Amino acid sequence: MKVVLISSCLVQPAEPTWNGPMPLTEFDQTGFLAHVRTMYFYRPSENWLTQKGTIYKTIRTSLSRILVHFYPLAGRLRWLDGARLVLECNGKGVQLIEAEADANLDIFGDFTPSPHFHHLTPPINYKAPIEEIPLVFVQLTTFKCGGIALSYSISDAVVDGQSALHFISEWANLARGDSLGNAPFLDRKFLRAGDLPSAKPCFEHDQFDSPPLLVGQSSCENEREKETTDAIFKLTKIQVEMLKNEANRTRPYNNSDRIFTRYEAIAAHIWRCACRARGHVYEQPTGLAVCVDIRNRVEPPLPRKYFGNATVDVIATGYSGDLVTRPSGYAASRIREAINTVSSEFVHSSLDYLKNLEDFSGLQDIHPMNTNQGPFYGNPNLGVISWMTLPVYGVDFGWGKEIFMIPGTHACDGDSLVLPGHDGDGSTFVALCLQADRMEDFKKFFYEDI
């Protein structure tokens, strides 16, 4: 498939917006800092197609209008001492690209990951100075059949998944001619952005330690360099129920009165299958990172539409042999235990821990100036992010809801996402990136072991 660039421009807020430096929180400035890509595919009706350029014009105008409300996204990042970052609200704008493909949407079949997807997303040059890199890139690609792909890459240094989805759904509201539903809550002071350290951490915070390495290796460099591949696995409602029942079958591993959730059961299954597919020895230590939304875990809770990164990563740990040979309830219990550590005190202690650090570079992933590239959650580790409760579907810019959505993973070995199936039928998708030579085995175990 050939994709030809038609135009590329910076879209600025439609009205003047506040200018100045906006402090980011420690959660914004650590972890994954690059852009996360999501793609929506549409089949607009005939009336949208008769006048060429109407869709592009609608996207461009509404983008400019929504940036008035979400103006930090039109700004740029700037480095400070100690690999810290500040967000310069300067209205420079977001990148909008218009492109045409010489194929029909059918080329994607059932939308299983395909190398063609790369042509639908603009490449981002992380070697450029950070203050020149837009925080949002949008590419609108038109297909011969009239179908379109809208790819949307947003900086993870500025927002988490919840806020990224808030932005796109409000943007779609304006594009449809509706008014803004909920304004974003832009003040990050609720998570003490820009404040100096006020206390010493009161927890250990081993979530910021280096994750386990493969037994016998002294660095993760070998594993980091291996080729990876993406896959999406569908679980039917019945398969999800079977996994959940199995995790809850063995009581000793869950002594709380709250049974394991679908997420915990699926994440436990992914962990066990990855340990097997990676061929670990019994005593291989492994970590599974869980991204926990803290909006309702802090006291007082964050404003409902808090805009930024309001998540904390915690690490469930275990030995591969134990995870694989014990019932799946064991892996689920390790995950539950890690999630349960996230209290309001833990969140503030994490902030204090980070505020007291001199330099963040060791905690930043895809830091353009850092050759180590931060902590490695590839083999023997994993990250399993839940989008189970996020409003991922139904983004309608006026030409109907998407026919398919491809979620953005960070595209590193071990990264995975769990999200509801597209049809609202109780099915679930697992999107996973894994070393290419492990994927076939993973797939086999994933379905055989249900």
Q: Residue 307's CB: how many other CB atoms inside 10 A? A: 25
The one among 62, 162, 364, 416 contacting ligand COA by CB under 6 A: 162
Q: x/- site string to ligand COA, residues 36 to 75, per CB under 6 A?
A: ----------------------------------------
> Is 33 near ligand COA (CB under 6 A)?
no
- Residue 67 and residue 167 in contact, taking contact as beta carbons nearer than 8 Å: no
What single letter denotes the amino acid at residue 286?
Answer: T
- Residue 163: CB minimum distance to ligand COA, A: 9
> Is 407 near ligand COA (CB under 6 A)?
no
> Is 389 near ligand COA (CB under 6 A)?
yes
> Is 25 near ligand COA (CB under 6 A)?
no
> Is 261 near ligand COA (CB under 6 A)?
yes
Q: Which stretch binds ligand COA (CB under 6 A): 5-13, 51-59, 172-180, 388-396?
A: 388-396
- Residue 39 and residue 111 in contact, taking contact as beta carbons nearer than 8 Å: no
- Residue 306: CB minimum distance to ligand COA, A: 12
Burial of 371 (0-12, 13-18, 19+ CB in 10 A): exposed
Residues in CB range of 290: below 8 A, 6 or more apart: 267, 313, 314, 315, 316, 335, 338, 339, 383, 384, 385, 386
> Is 350 near ligand COA (CB under 6 A)?
no
Residues touching ligand COA: how many (CB under 6 A)? 19
> Is 291 near ligand COA (CB under 6 A)?
yes
Closest CA to 166 of 309, 33, 299: 309
- Residue 216: CB minimum distance to ligand COA, A: 32
Q: Which residues are 9's β-sheet partners?
A: 96
- Residue 391 and residue 420 in contact, taking contact as beta carbons nearer than 8 Å: no
> Is 161 near ligand COA (CB under 6 A)?
yes
Burial of 384 (0-12, 13-18, 19+ CB in 10 A): buried
User: 66-104: string of b/e by CB count within 10 Å (b at 16+)?
Assistant: bbbbbbbbbbbbeeeeebbbbbbbbbbbbbbbbbebebe
> Is 290 near ligand COA (CB under 6 A)?
yes
> Is 289 near ligand COA (CB under 6 A)?
no
| Closer of 45 and 344 to ligand COA (Cβ) | 344
| Closer of 27 and 387 to ligand COA (Cβ) | 387
Interface positions with ligand COA (CB under 6 A): 160-162, 261-264, 290-293, 311, 339, 385-390
